[in-house]
Amino acid sequence: MTSDAPLVLGIETSCDETGVGLVVGTTLLADAVASSVDEHARFGGVVPEVASRAHLEAMTPTVQRALSEANVSLSDVDAIAVTGGPGLMGALLVGVAAAKAYALALEVPLYGVNHLAAHVAVDRLEHGPLPEPAIALLVSGGHSSLLMVNDITHDVTPLGMTIDDAAGEAFDKVARLLGLPFPGGPHIDRLAGEGRSDAIAFPRGLTSAHDQERHPYDFSFSGLKTSVARWVETREREGEPIPVADVAASFQEAVVDVLVRKAVAACQDRGVDHLLLGGGVAANSRLRAELVQRCNVNGIRLRVPRPGLCTDNGAMVAALGAALVESGHPPSEMSFSAESGLMVGQVVIP
In the complex, the residues that contact Zn ion under the rule CB under 5 A are: 140, 312
Residue-wise DSSP of 256-279 = HHHHHHHHHHHHHHHT--EEEEES
| Binding pattern for the stretch 222-261 against ligand KG4, x by CB under 6 A and - elsewhere | ----------------------------------------
Question: Counting contacts by CB under 6 A, is residue 291 touching ligand KG4?
Answer: no
DSSP assignment, residue 219? Answer: B
| Residue 133 phi, psi (nearest 5) | -75, 155
User: How many angstroms separate the CA atoms of 144 and 189, rounded?
Assistant: 18
Beta carbon of residue 142, minimum distance to Zn ion (angstroms, whole number): 6
Stretch of 49-57, 62-70, 139-147, 266-274 contacting ligand KG4, by CB under 6 A: 139-147
H helix and E strand count, the chain: 13, 11
272/338 with CB nearer ligand KG4 = 338
- Report the residue from 82, 283, 295, 319 that binds ligand KG4 according to the rule CB under 6 A: 283
Nearest approach, Cβ of residue 277 and ligand KG4 (Å): 12
What is the nearest approach in angstroms of ligand KG4 to the Cβ of residue 25? 24
Minimum Å gap between C-beta 50 and ligand KG4 is 16
300: which DSSP letter? P
**Least distance between ligand KG4 and beta carbon 320 (Å):** 15
Radius of gyration of the chain (CA): 20
Does the protein bind ligand KG4 through residue 186 (CB under 6 A)? yes
Nearest distance, CB of residue 72 and ligand KG4, angstroms: 26
Amino acid at 157: T
- Binding-site size, ligand KG4 (CB under 6 A): 19
Helix axis angle, 48-70 relative to 89-106, nearest 10°?
30
Sort strands 7-12 and 79-85 into parallel, antiparallel or unpaired.
Answer: parallel
Find the farthest-apart pair of alpha carbons in the chain and give their distance in angstroms, rounded.
68
Cβ proximity to ligand KG4: between 15 and 272 the closer is 15
Residue 19: helix, strand or coil by DSSP?
Answer: strand
Instruction: Pick the binder of ligand KG4 from 12, 123, 172, 290 (CB under 6 A).
Output: 172
Q: Count of CB atoms within 10 A of residue 157's CB? A: 10
Nearer to Zn ion, 59 or 316 (CB): 316
- In 10 A of CB 215, how many CB atoms? 18
User: Considering only residues 189-208, where is the footprint of ligand KG4 by CB under 6 A?
Assistant: 189
Binding stretches for ligand KG4 (CB under 6 A): 15, 140-142, 168, 171-172, 183-186, 189, 279-281, 283-284, 311-312
